Structure 1
Amino acid sequence: MNKNLLFSVCAVTAVSISGCTTIADMAGADSATLNVAAAQGFNKTVQEAQGNKTLDTSSSTYQRINAVFNRLKPYADQVNQTGQKFNWQLAVLKSDQVNAYVAPGGKVVFYTGIVNKLNLTDAEIAAVMGHEMIHALEEHSKNKIGAQALTDLALNVGLGYAGGNVGQLGTAAAQLGSQIGVGLPYSRSLESRADQGGLMLMARAGYNPQAAITLWEKMNKLDGASGSSFLSTHPSNSQRIDAMRKNLAAAQAIYNKR
């Protein structure tokens, strides 16, 4: 069967996510390949950020984000069922953008704006970090390739995600953000899985999961005031917060046992 036709069949029929993931594998979007491609894009992002002096490696904001990242990593590794060992890496970019995203294989990108504009606590940073780590651990980008029947698996799938901010941070960060669906909207079901998995992950690492609720309340307040790029790729509403509240008791029990 023609590959493009195979993708079209997946797009127009009610195929399960897992079935479409198989199609992604057939198209060359297997886990190992995606992780290698993401690593290359991440390295290019870091190099470009170094060149235009937007890479943050020393500020107090960076230090806080990095501390949360390192604290969550071993717990993320414990729940990694992808069959691929993750080489977790973090890039913090100096920008007023309220955003964060993850690329396959554990390449996390944080913008300082999400911490500074929202005045996030360390636990709220952990809520964002845990959410993004779950996206990577559950290979949601790979699921999207199948579910959306993407035929272009190159790194430069589009710069629309970055909009007018391309000039500020450079094209590499924008391309990594749009790479294979990483920076594009996930489905409600995948967002919900990242929310709930992130709750459990932050609790295991010793962060009070209550902070996930206050995080999204802050996001909603900002969205109502002026909007944010993070919310453009991570839909937030009262139903989402309500769903997290329903899972809060289980996460709180994990946190309380520490």
Structure 2
Amino acid sequence: MYKNIKEIGLVSCIVLLSGCTTIADMSGADSATLNASSAQSFIKMQQEAQQKGVLDTSSVTYQRIRTVLQRMEPYANQMNQTGQAFQWQLAVLKSDTLNAYVAPGGKVVFYTGIVNKLNLTDAEIAAIMGHEMTHALEEHSKNKIGADALTNLAVNLGKSYAGQSLGQFGSAALDLGSQVGVGLPYSRSLETRADYGGLILMAKAGYNPQAAITLWQKMNKLEGQGGVSFLSTHPSNVQRIEAMQKNLPAAMAIYNQRIQQR
């Protein structure tokens, strides 16, 4: 028997931190199943977006995002340790929403607003791409699903938020968004890992990692003007920028080596 409430709480926290992936597997969210479900939702989302006239397949913004994805894809595949090959696909949605994510299995979704409103450079697009790719490659959504299964609360909250922010694109967009926890923040540790992984990934692809700093500076500036935060789950704050600056030398070493090889 546990001696007191604090001890019970401590054990519960340990279970949540160490057992989420296992719980996800037990609840039917193993990697293969999760990727297959994501692929189905992605196809439906594309179809609904096309019917609603919000699927961008030809604009300059679309071409820029596509070029960044194609350049980063081989390096992301090298970093893939999930045991499941990713089938990278891109959907760009016409919306002023500041939003982008990579769903399980490599389903990349960008909203034109995050590129156009922030006037992003290609390297800043790569910073977002690398961050979100890392979430997918490290299966952070799977970790969250395990936690959701334990708490039986986060899924309902996520769908509630997703219904508000993604409903205009149809039910399939809601389904796909809920798989990456739209409206529900990743833990601070997972966000830090995604920030670091994103820096390394973009550097390997030949994009200057310093662009990750300018990206979040732009995000902070927009939020200070009353703008909508990225996914409402990515805290663009001074602490985050400071953490990335500490990791910048390692990323810059990779970037400089990459440039010299060209």
Task: Give the TM-score, by structure 1 length.
Answer: 0.90
Give the superposition deviation at 1:13. 3.7
CA contact (8 A) 1:37 1:155 kept: no
CA contact (8 A) 1:101 1:183 kept: no
Call closer, same or farther: CA 1:107–1:195 in 2, change over 3 Å: same
Q: Secondary structure at the match of 1:64?
A: helix
Q: Which moved more, 1:219-228 or 1:157-166?
A: 157-166
Question: Where does residue 174 of structure 1 map in the other structure?
Answer: 174
Give the superposition deviation at 1:229. 4.5
Tell me which amino acid in the other structure corresponds to 1:135: H
Q: Note the 1:58-207 alignment, pairs <5 A.
A: 58-148=58-148, 149=150, 151=152, 158-163=159-164, 166-167=167-168, 169-179=169-179, 181=181, 184-207=184-207
Call closer, same or farther: CA 1:179–1:31 in 2, change over 3 Å: same
Distance 1:33 1:154 in 2: 18
Tell me which amino acid in the other structure corresponds to 2:135: H
Give the superposition deviation at 1:184. 2.5
Tell me which amino acid in the other structure corresponds to 2:103: A
Tell me which amino acid in the other structure corresponds to 2:14: A
Q: Which moved more, 1:144-153 or 1:178-187?
A: 144-153
CA contact (8 A) 2:104 2:136 kept: yes
Alpha carbon RMSD of aligned pairs, Å? 2.3
Give the superposition deviation at 1:182. 5.1
Give the superposition deviation at 1:230. 1.4
Give the superposition deviation at 1:162. 4.7
Q: Secondary structure at the match of 2:200?
A: helix
Structure 1, unpaired ranges of 5+: 1-8
Residues 20-42 of structure 1: per-residue CA shift (max 9 Å, x gap): 21111111110001001111111
Distance 2:223 2:122 in 1: 21
Tell me which amino acid in the other structure corresponds to 1:163: Q
Distance 1:65 1:71 in 2: 10
Give the superposition deviation at 1:176. 1.4
Give the superposition deviation at 1:10. 11
Distance 1:224 1:42 in 2: 33
Aligned residues with identical type, % of pairs = 70
Question: Where does residue 23 of structure 2 map in the other structure?
Answer: 23
Give the superposition deviation at 1:150. 5.4
Residues 203-224 of structure 1: per-residue CA shift (max 9 Å, x gap): 0000000000000000011111
Call closer, same or farther: CA 1:206–1:164 in 2, change over 3 Å: closer
CA contact (8 A) 1:35 1:105 kept: yes
Tell me which amino acid in the other structure corresponds to 2:90: L
Please say which structure displays the higher CA radius of gyration: 2
Q: State the aligned residue count.
A: 249
CA contact (8 A) 1:69 1:129 kept: yes
Structure 2, unpaired ranges of 5+: 1-8
Q: Which moved more, 1:24-33 or 1:206-215?
A: 24-33
Give the superposition deviation at 1:172. 2.0
Tell me which amino acid in the other structure corresponds to 1:142: K
